[in-house]
Structure 1
Amino acid sequence: MKEKIFTKIFTDENLPYLELRYSNNTKHYKKHLHDTLSIGINIKGETIYTNKDKIYNFDIGMLALVNPNEIHSCNPIDKTPNLYYMLYLDENWCYGIQKTICEDIKEFIPFDKDFLDDKNIYEEFKSLCETMFTNITYEEKEEDLILFFTKLFKTYINDFHKTPSNEDDLKFSQVQKYIQKNYKENISLNHLANKFDLNPFYIIRLFKNKLNMTPHAYLINEKINKAKEYLKKGNSLVDTALECGFADQSHFHRNFLKIVATTPNQYKLNFVQD
């Protein structure tokens, strides 16, 4: 039976800096370029990957790294459809993430390699792409994107630390207290940026430097801590999720399990006093 050809594209108005393509096809593309950072992997099949004047046999387990405005192509070797993910990211967003790692950079730093042959990074990127097509909240997707690309970029940027200024300490304290007070709300990074008139990537850097977590991760952590208090008092799972501002029971259950390593119901029935 002939394999069905398909293309699925993920976009989200809350994540305007990315487009993700999931596809299988036998089409051959001419050499072309994008103004985005493009990263791709094969899930099934083998392709010929060209980047500028170099040609590579591109197989499962590898990541193609295409810097903005680099001429490239990636085409299947034979007529069998290859299954792949291709993620396109706005250069300015990437620069913002890089700047949270190295504050003094003045522009986007491109990769100095055309591909990575790293099974761990491959699996993490594959998992990230799969996550984009799920029904979890856009804040969770953004969290995963920030964490993955922070880790990836750190390999290519000299990571050095400066002593935080008094202004950094003050701004961090203000944002932290706001999240603590308004933990019931689903506070987005853009909301914090507008509220405090700060660059969103500056806020990410503050939280990474102080707590080694993103603002969204800190918000979820606050929600879970409050949820534990409600459950210890005997509140129902439904009421607890509502009181802590979770989008739904699935959102509550998933994040509680991640942080507490047990389900909300198990915790309610068997928790150990701190």
Structure 2
Amino acid sequence: MGFLGLHYRIERKTMTLAIGIIFAASIGGIVEIAPLFTIHQTVEDAPDMRVYTPLELTGRNIYIREGCYACHSQMIRTLRDEVERYGPYSLAVESKYDHPMLWGSKRTGPDLARLGGKYSDDWHVKHLINPRNVVPESVMPPYAYLARNKIRTDDLGLHLAAMRKVGVPYTDEMIANASADAYGQTTPDTPYAEGVAKRYGAATNIRAFDGVAGEPTEMDALVAYLQILGKLTDAAHKTTTAKAGE
């Protein structure tokens, strides 16, 4: 009864209880805040890190809108079975430009952190139209309507500008050409495609992701996003190679 008796006495005194609450909350606050003072030492450097193109950012927004993050995580843990199945474990720097983070907490489907380039565009399109076409045991719902929906491009500059406000280094040129770049990334044989490569790098995926030429669809955008997952930087692969050589 000693501890319980003390607890009852504290509850009867408002100031004592308030001080106790503040003390307990301070401990949790310190645990959460203290690591931020060393974040520059704990987050890896990735000089080759690039930002999402307007089309890829649109695809990411669709991924969030459709709730894909509820069944797929984007964080490979350091456990051996995860690394052997999915690839190098995830690094903090790989989520540097993700707002919000999509690490996830549940895996009804596989982790997608290293999905980029693993399958062809055609595979992704078939999978999204009807998952059972390529994975018979899949419980994922179909998203065939994405191929029919054209993406809105006139406000993409605003999306990029909003991302810049939270630290994503989009340039004025990227923001001004966001709409044209979304179109250019799906039309490789046009002058618009050259602008995409110039602003985002020659290695940027530029093609009709849904296999149909014309105005970019939501299918184009989502596939473009899926094909860049794990490809914004090679930091994870370099870290793995460096540790293997130690």
Check whether TM > 0.5: no
Instruction: Name which one, 1 or 2, has greater alpha-carbon Rg.
Output: 2
Q: Which TM-score tier does this pair reach, normalised by the shorter chain?
A: under 0.3
Larger relative contact order (Cα-Cα within 8 Å, sequence gap ≥ 6): 2
Structure with the higher helix share, 1 or 2: 2
TM value normalised by structure 1 = 0.22
TM value normalised by structure 2 = 0.23
